[in-house]
Amino acid sequence: MSTLPEISDAEWTVMQVLWERSPQTAAEVVDALDGHAAWAPATIKTLLGRLIRKGALTYTEDGNRYCYRPAVDRAACIRRAGRSFLDRVFAGDPMPALEHFVRSEPLSDDQIEALRRLLDERREGGTR
C-alpha cells in the first residue's frame, strides 16, 4: 500500500493484536482483547471491518471464518503516527518532545544507558 491509512486509537488496539500474531480469526482477536478493552465482540468486529475498508488489514476465508492479517507495516505506521504527534503537539520540533519525555517519565539506568548509546550512534552518523 502506497499511502498509510489513518488509524484511530481504538483501531490501534486491534492492530497491535494482529501485528503481534497473524493471522487470527475475529474470535481470536476478541479473546486477545478480553480484559484489555471493555468492548463487545460486535465492536471488535466493527473495528476489523473498518480496518479492512481502510486497507490496514486483509483477510482470507477459512470455511465460514475470516482470518485477518495486517496489510500495513507496523514500523511505517509508528513513524507516521509519531510524525503526526510531533507536528500537532510540538510544532514538528523533536527537541521539546525529547526533553518532555526524559524529564517527565521514569527511566531505568538501563534505559538511560540505551538512550546514551542511541545518541552517540546518531552523532557518529548512524541511522536516521
Could you report the per-residue pLDDT of 45-87, keeping only the tens digit for each? Answer: 999 999 999 999 999 998 999 999 999 999 999 999 999 999 9
Q: Note whether residue 106 is domain-resident.
A: yes
- Which grid cell sits at 63? 470455511
- Are residues 17 and 62 part of one domain? yes
Percentage of the chain surpassing pLDDT 70? 96
∠ CA 128-16-25, nearest 5°, is 140
- What is each CA distance from 111 to 9, 32, 86, 91, 117, in whole angstroms? 26, 29, 22, 26, 10
Domain of 87 in residue numbering reads as 74-124
- Are residues 66 and 110 part of one domain? no
Is residue 112 exposed (0-12), middle (13-18) or buried (19+ Cβ within 10 Å)? exposed
Q: What would the pLDDT profile of 27-37 be if each residue is shown by its tens digit?
A: 999 999 998 87
pTM of the model: 0.82
- For residue 127, the model assigns a pLDDT of 63
- Are residues 82 and 65 part of one domain? no
Task: Provide the CATH number for the domain around residue 120.
Answer: 1.10.4040
- Are residues 120 and 104 part of one domain? yes
- Are residues 83 and 57 part of one domain? no
